[in-house]
Amino acid sequence: MCKQKQYIKKAVSRYAFYVLLLMCVNVNGAFAQDLAINEPQKTYRIVTLAPHITELFFEVGAGGYVVGTVDYANYPEAAKKIERVGAYNSVSIERIIALQPDFIVAIPGSAMGPQIEKLQKLGLDVRFSDPQNAMDVAEQLVRIGGWVQKQEFAQARADKFLADWQALKVKYQVKGMQTKPTVFFQAWLKPLMTLNKDNLINEVIELCGGLNLYADLPMPVPHVSIESVITRAPDVIVYSGPEPSIESQQYWQLWPSIPAVVNKRVYWVHADDLARPVPNILKGAKTMCAHIHGESQ
């Protein structure tokens, strides 16, 4: 029982990073600063305050410049060796200052907002990253490339990401032309929570030719009742986390009237492949598409 509790705690903490960000972030759609692109080539010292930001720097060939990051920044493998300065809701200002960063990159409006303000008041250069859709991911790659003088490499990476995204969209939009499979995305189990349309996971569902049953709700991460899910009768149920959840699978078996349950179409997608706004979301998107169209093995 103790081992099971430890697993649940770890799984919840890891996935909570992204669910809590969706609930807390005040999206403003803008980024504060750009680095002049005609500076002489130099080596940078950068602190990233979210796992997706760390990954984006690696994507543009600048992962070696990151000297400090936060918990769960675990991809690629080299990211695991970077010094930790905090978690999703709190960072150590002292550790960050000690690392002497040229600049810091954070999520605007996050739970660590007061600490970010303090860093700015101390004179540190704080920039922001909060991609909300596929185009934002591409634009952020280019922006980060400009910050570290890797514009050409970053532009090529952004172009490839968008081309791969479009190819996947073309493939599955054809499959979903007649009747869109309806999808319930389980963002949280207890209490039962899902996602509306204002996030990248909803865009993935649409990319795959599916229909998010709760896309129209006003709250980004709404609580829903099991009665509501039964009434809406999803064709597919998808949940995410660090590994498949026995608890989730057992829970849904309690409601055999739901089409997704009776047809054995309750699926898992790894949280790292789906929750982060980075090019690697294509891996999670391919898995999601296979689930939605019954192609999973």
Judged against a pLDDT cut of 50, whether residue 35 lies above it is answered with: no
Count of beta carbons in the 10 Å neighbourhood of residue 33: 11
Ramachandran region, residue 63 (left: φ > 0; alpha: ψ -120 to 50; beta: rest) = alpha
CATH 1.10.220.150 fits 12-24+44-158, yes or no: no
CATH topology of domain 176-292: Rossmann fold (3.40.50)
| Structure-token pair, residue 196 | 């509306």
Which residue reads 């600490």 in tokens? 115
Question: 108-122: per-residue pLDDT in tens?
Answer: 988 899 999 999 999
Whole-model pTM: value is 0.84
The per-residue pLDDT for 13 is 47
Question: 201-229: per-residue pLDDT in tens?
Answer: 999 999 999 999 999 999 999 999 999 99
The per-residue pLDDT for 88 is 81
Judged against a pLDDT cut of 50, whether residue 26 lies above it is answered with: no
| Structure-token pair, residue 86 | 């905090």
Whether the bond between 191 and the residue before it is cis, its omega within 30 degrees of 0, is yes
Which helix (H) or strand (E) segment holds residue 238: the answer is: strand 236-241
How many angstroms separate the CA atoms of 38 and 8, rounded? 49
Two domains, one topology: 12-24+44-158 and 176-292: yes
> Domain residues of the chain, as ranges?
12-24+44-158, 176-292
Beta carbons within 8 Å of 38's beta carbon, 6+ residues apart: none
At 89, the pLDDT band (50, 70, 90 cuts) reads confident
- 82 secondary structure, DSSP code: S
Question: 58-76: per-residue pLDDT in tens?
Answer: 999 999 999 999 999 999 9
Judged against a pLDDT cut of 90, whether residue 143 lies above it is answered with: yes
